[in-house]
Structure 1
């Protein structure tokens, strides 16, 4: 009986009406993003006052009909209720899986990649229907909520990718335990790795004893040391570190059986603290003691174009990169003024599986046992301040209401004032890192944590500052770790760190939400963006030559397509060692702020 109940729980959130809704939502997203990336070309059939009518005519007498507005950056704002499908001139139900098959002659997903992509998409639908069924907190309620409540209740995932919550490797029970939207938190496992195969690295102000004492506590540390002694071994020969329970159950118990049998890798037991998985899924937040570090571990599931392992070799350089970036930026007066902070990745442990090392360091089997400790926002906020994932600004609740509007309404600022504050906090520091230091982060919604006071942004925390960062300037004095971050790129490609990562992958969606939910016209938003950039340029005339070389007011820019990346290789979407090499460039796209360049020059 118990097993029957458990099996039923795997599908308890299934609901026919919600299933139809999530298929419509993802079909809308697919049509919008595939059209944006020039994979499909809807045909205009009727011009109306606002939303024009379009069709997609396919083989086998299949047609899709919908109404849409095409905003700047060729962003397709599609009326969800208008989407219809006909087959042989008869109404047919909407199915995103069927749609992928129907348009794959245009998408050209490789035959060997298609099943994996469809599995990722199916898993994404599974999560979407769960969120709509279970996570019913409204936008107004979320606006009053704390950091982790907002984090847990995000719906969209990455706004560009269709299959963005694949998590291949999780079963239904794992989903309930470990998916951020479903989990109520769990305890990590603690293991001991023999120092002959384990490396510890930290920033200069920390050491292993300090980290383990803070994160584990002296009492529990002593218990684990005694466990090692009880095996007839010397605790000083081991590093103790946390590990995701899924990783132990599904990977380490099998693949590391040799080391476990020979007591090179020892299971010590379950820790006392409860951790909440974050949107990035392998990063864990300590719910029991919020002043402790984030823990990020290897988690060998397939998710959105990558196996989510963690390299023990890469971990050896991580604290050094943290120290370098901190030394470079921390004392910058402008960044301090903008309340820009980075969450340092302060210590790491990596364990090597020597049996698999001949496969190469980049092989997924050599990225299974590693951990890093990262600073959390709670360590730096004052009493009346709160941290909020920037992904929240794109969140639409189950009733169709925008969290962004709830933030603005509760702040007592008008939309114009609120957006100006947001651009000061988010955009200007990115511009400064780019122009002053030739440095670019990956500033998408999940990687940015807003500093908020009275629901108004006044600064940001940047995370993933060592893995998702590039440096565009070579220097012979760079350490070997920093040299690995250097990317040689043309000025057009360098500019994509703003054009693609900020404009196309975030502001494009934000502008629609502002118009749809806040009655703030998309052109007014882009004008504020242009003003923010020009303000920065006027404040920093010493970079005028760089402003010309990487001109953010250029008429157009290269269209870099994210779904095309995933569709071509959903197992290794990008080579992090050479992130530019695999980018999918498809022509150019008009720059939404180019029209404001002359106006701003005249104004200035």
Structure 2
């Protein structure tokens, strides 16, 4: 039985009545907020109840009356007060599973789909209880915490999805061992296979990163190479004829030793041993950070658990071109002086490996069985920092500690800036570079909070790194030249497609939630928040260096893409990975809160220039 540290209680110990009540309220408040935002619910607004702008609301689901108070913000966002929620007039009857059962007909859930969704939701609830019950760092502590300590402190998961921490396939002990919020050390298992039964792919020799960007370290550490040398000698095989691949300990125990038993028995797969370095899980649970050597590369490994709409495997076919795709993107980013000025860079996925000698590949399977044994190496952000800088996942800007204090508020306080000045720094580091890449190069990514690593100095945001490049980047027809090897990322993108990278992923997916945090904490009213965003976009537009106006960032509205609708439709396969854009679901159009302030600021800037 694994012993869980006192600061990280077991799941059973965390399931106390007080903790459960709090977790239920937080999740129901989030469900009301997000399902209303996606126009699945239409709560009836009543009288104003306080000077903070809250109103009373009523929502009838399955004949049951739910009531709550909330602040109505732009983008049809309700800042719901968790403590105000009642079911049928009873505050003690608030439970997220009961809420979903009341709402099942409205949500279109029945039968197996309802069962699967409830299971993911129950696991999300258990994870929330776990983070509420343990001793967690305060928001002020996180300002000075190291990279992995911040990762382990995150508690909510994706801000938009309600069932966000399913991790179906893990037991309670495995959750304690492998979830990032547990903060426990783990040791990847290393395997080797004859190189003709798969491959390892590395950064192309022709890639020429900018002089300011250090070369990535070798994928295989000396310690792992030594382990393999000893094992190869014992087997009397040529170590150079084999490829080494890291495996998540859970994957080794539950998938590889079972589904790949014939390969192990035949020597097509060779068990090398555990990595002597200690790693910790990141918020993206299949990504591992080297805690023994923080400057060493991160490992992203296949992990066949179901989480937030997908089984989290890795495809050897995709891995085979990942370093080449990263070379294209890194060369583009590193050669642009504007991006350097904004402190923007990418964390390069510079090596990958995958095994294809198994029976599943032999029969041409396209399902999750061919995504069980692959990995990539991603550089750590730490060697890229300047003196006095630190890094933090951008997801932390939406985090509140156990006392309800926000990390965003703590960073503003540390920075010595006004909230508007601090926010302008966030937008300049995060939004402006990605808008520039879309406008100037027709290149877009998946820039949600977990995929952005912020660079900070004394609470001020000084830049950002983007990660998850190989599987997420898309280049339009008029974008950068691509080789035959990398052409799978080329897609015909309309101007509206490019603009939705801003509207859907950044404005609605991240900034909407940060606006709620800053408004609730009386740091910056939501209208002023979006005025700052509009001002930063106007400053970029006024540079006149790219055709940013084709993106229509000052449009009155934009297509309302809905994440939870995807998960409610199919919780195990949200989108068709061969046609992700064709799988999206929309609910009309949303009013654009930055349109007017962007136009106003741009007119002022142009008037100043003319004068």
TM-score (norm 1): 0.94
Deviation at 1:193, TM superposition (A): 1.3
Q: Does 1:351 align with 2:352?
A: no
Q: Does 1:31 align with 2:32?
A: yes
Matching residue of 1:264: 268
In 1, distance between residues paired with 2:171 and 2:559? 40
Deviation at 1:476, TM superposition (A): 10
Matching residue of 2:609: none
In 1, distance between residues paired with 2:195 and 2:528? 59
Matching residue of 1:577: 578
Matching residue of 1:162: 162
Q: Write the deviation string for residues 240-267 of structure 1: whole angstroms up to 9, x where unpaired.
A: 2211111010001111111101000011
Cα 1:233–1:550 change in 2 (3 A) is same
Once the two structures are superposed, the pairs formed by residues 425-574 of structure 1 within 5 Å of their partners are 425-473=429-477, 478-543=482-547, 546-547=548-549, 549-574=550-575
Instruction: Judge conservation of contact 1:564–1:584 (CA < 8 Å) in 2.
Output: yes
Deviation at 1:487, TM superposition (A): 2.5
Deviation at 1:228, TM superposition (A): 2.5
Cα 1:365–1:564 change in 2 (3 A) is same
In 2, distance between residues paired with 1:227 and 1:127? 39
Deviation at 1:534, TM superposition (A): 0.7
Matching residue of 1:70: 72
Deviation at 1:503, TM superposition (A): 0.7
In 1, distance between residues paired with 2:545 and 2:194? 55
Q: Write the deviation string for residues 458-502 of structure 1: whole angstroms up to 9, x where unpaired.
A: 100000011111112257952234321122343333311100101
Matching residue of 2:199: 199
Q: Write the deviation string for residues 54-105 of structure 1: whole angstroms up to 9, x where unpaired.
A: 111233x42101111221000011122211111xx66651111111111111
Per mean C-alpha deviation after superposition, the further-off stretch among 576-585 and 42-51 is: 42-51
Q: Write the deviation string for residues 196-252 of structure 1: whole angstroms up to 9, x where unpaired.
A: 212010013599xxx999455435423422322323433233112211111010001
Matching residue of 1:176: 176
Instruction: Judge conservation of contact 1:200–1:347 (CA < 8 Å) in 2.
Output: yes
In 2, distance between residues paired with 1:288 and 1:219? 12
Cα 1:531–1:217 change in 2 (3 A) is closer
Q: Write the deviation string for residues 355-385 of structure 1: whole angstroms up to 9, x where unpaired.
A: 1126646410000001100011112112311
Instruction: Judge conservation of contact 1:474–1:483 (CA < 8 Å) in 2.
Output: no
Matching residue of 1:242: 246
In 1, distance between residues paired with 2:334 and 2:598? 32
In 2, distance between residues paired with 1:34 and 1:276? 33
In 2, distance between residues paired with 1:440 and 1:103? 36
Q: Does 1:302 align with 2:302?
A: no
Per mean C-alpha deviation after superposition, the further-off stretch among 569-578 and 242-251 is: 569-578
In 2, distance between residues paired with 1:359 and 1:257? 17
Q: Write the deviation string for residues 270-322 of structure 1: whole angstroms up to 9, x where unpaired.
A: 11100010000000000001111000110100001111001111111001101
Q: 3-state DSSP class of the match of 1:428?
A: helix
1:393 to 393, 397, 413: 397
Q: Does 1:58 align with 2:61?
A: yes
Q: 3-state DSSP class of the match of 1:495?
A: helix
Cα 1:214–1:318 change in 2 (3 A) is closer
Q: 3-state DSSP class of the match of 1:70?
A: strand
Cα 1:198–1:399 change in 2 (3 A) is same
Matching residue of 2:18: 17
Cα 1:213–1:232 change in 2 (3 A) is farther
In 2, distance between residues paired with 1:4 and 1:192? 31
In 2, distance between residues paired with 1:223 and 1:586? 55
TM-score (norm 2): 0.93
Q: 3-state DSSP class of the match of 2:12?
A: coil
In 2, distance between residues paired with 1:409 and 1:145? 16
1:319 to 314, 320, 323: 323
Matching residue of 1:380: 384
Cα 1:321–1:276 change in 2 (3 A) is same
Instruction: Judge conservation of contact 1:487–1:578 (CA < 8 Å) in 2.
Output: no
Instruction: Judge conservation of contact 2:542–2:602 (CA < 8 Å) in 1.
Output: no
Cα 1:232–1:18 change in 2 (3 A) is same
In 2, distance between residues paired with 1:518 and 1:148? 29
Cα 1:62–1:401 change in 2 (3 A) is same
Per mean C-alpha deviation after superposition, the further-off stretch among 297-306 and 102-111 is: 102-111
In 1, distance between residues paired with 2:222 and 2:96? 53
Unaligned 5+ residue runs, structure 2? 208-214, 607-611
In 2, distance between residues paired with 1:409 and 1:92? 37
Matching residue of 1:187: 187
Q: Size of the alignment, in residue pairs?
A: 593
Matching residue of 1:420: 424
Matching residue of 1:138: 138
Instruction: Judge conservation of contact 1:415–1:518 (CA < 8 Å) in 2.
Output: no
Q: 3-state DSSP class of the match of 1:177?
A: helix
Instruction: Judge conservation of contact 1:187–1:271 (CA < 8 Å) in 2.
Output: yes
Q: 3-state DSSP class of the match of 2:111?
A: coil
Q: 3-state DSSP class of the match of 1:191?
A: strand
Matching residue of 2:210: none
Q: Write the deviation string for residues 171-206 of structure 1: whole angstroms up to 9, x where unpaired.
A: 111111110001321111111112221201001359
Q: 3-state DSSP class of the match of 2:578?
A: coil
Deviation at 1:441, TM superposition (A): 1.2
Unaligned 5+ residue runs, structure 1? none
In 1, distance between residues paired with 2:490 and 2:252? 35
Matching residue of 2:85: 83
Q: Write the deviation string for residues 520-541 of structure 1: whole angstroms up to 9, x where unpaired.
A: 1111110111111111001125
In 1, distance between residues paired with 2:498 and 2:344? 22
